[in-house]
Amino acid sequence: MAEQRYPCAQCGAQLNYAPGTTHLKCPYCGFEEEVPLSEAQIDELDFHEYLSTHAPTVATEPDRVLHCNQCGAEFTWPENKESGSCPFCGSNVVVPANPESRIEPKSVLPFAIDFRMAKQKFTVWVGSRFWAPNNLKQLALVENGLRGCYIPYWTYDTFATTAYSGMQGIHYYETESYTDSEGNRQTRQVQKTRWYPVSGVVFDDFDDVLVLASEHLPPRYAQAMSTWSLDKLAPYDGKYLTGFVAMRYDKGLEEGFEDAKRIMDPTIRSTICRDIGGDEQQITSYNTQYDRLTFKHILLPIWSGAYRYGGRSWAYLVNGQTGEVRGEAPISKWKVAIAVILGLIVLSLIIYGMTQK
């Protein structure tokens, strides 16, 4: 499929999508072009039917050589990118995936947070790191890089039926005699547990289980983002990608569902424990069947950044829709040491006070 470009109708420069709006905007003359509202439906696709009728969901595609209509240069386009820019003149390029070898994204969540707002969110986040060195905020803002990326995700819907066996624990109390520190015989109530074998079937209905499909972001941060409003997804349009980098998935549909199972597992185990009841629960074994399994391939907006401190790079992400920040920050050894010393002083005072009674 041919690459897509969106030149300004007024000056010929490349248009960029303006976060938080419904239009493209020229960074030079200010011309705006509306992104037409689509009447297309964002459908869930049947998981098993798709696998039985389509090619493998991840294929090694050769890098393509593109010709830039803006400056005339030719350059190699990596297979894992959906959008980016010409390395010579910087004009925006959107290259849709080959539908014969990859699942195309059917929906996109447009950026609502622009570059300036993302920097502000990061500034607030850095300032809130209590254990970070005092000069972190100043240095991080100076040595900070930030870029907007559309990141591929899978979402899965399924109805899970789980057959299990386990043990139900019921507490009871027995009176026990003991000798106290002064040599007197005393009695007390001791909690004990009787265990009873149980089995059953439980049901869980999952909607939009979100799985990161890219290996180009720190997964512990990207997967942990929890404030997405997926009801604001728009039908895919390459215009939303202009001015941003958009990645293609590295993790296929089936591999993604294995991650989805791991995400769903704590909920399933919790449902089993509620069904077992009693005062304590033990799960001996369980087996889950996933029915009505459907999926979507979507692109979500993330500002990806990094800064240097203490001779190493520290990564962070800003949710391009809500401004939620996930990342890592250095810890001040001096602050930790002072906290430990203060804690020991307080503990010593408490012990001293107790011994004086």
pLDDT of the residue at 59: 45
Q: Which pLDDT score, from 0 to 100, does residue 332 have?
A: 64
Say yes or no to pLDDT of 312 above 90. no
Strand partners, 4: 94
pLDDT of residue 138: 63
In the chain, what's the furthest Cα-to-Cα distance?
Answer: 97
pTM reported for the whole predicted model: 0.80
Please tell me which residue, 272 or 216, carries the higher pLDDT value: 272
Cα 144 from Cα 128, distance rounded (Å):
17
Per-residue model confidence as pLDDT tens digits over 25-71: 998 898 999 988 877 778 899 999 999 887 554 444 555 555 455 54
What are the φ/ψ torsions at residue 271 (nearest 5 degrees)?
Answer: -65, -40
State the pLDDT confidence band at 343, using cuts at 50, 70 and 90.
confident
Residue 100, pLDDT above cutoff 50: yes
How does pLDDT run across 101-124, given as a tens digit for each residue? 688 898 999 999 999 999 889 888
Does the pLDDT at position 201 exceed 50?
A: yes
pLDDT higher than threshold 60 for residue 72: no
Residue 258: pLDDT band (50, 70, 90) is: very high
Q: Burial, 276: exposed, middle or buried (Cβ in 10 Å; 0-12, 13-18, 19+)?
A: buried
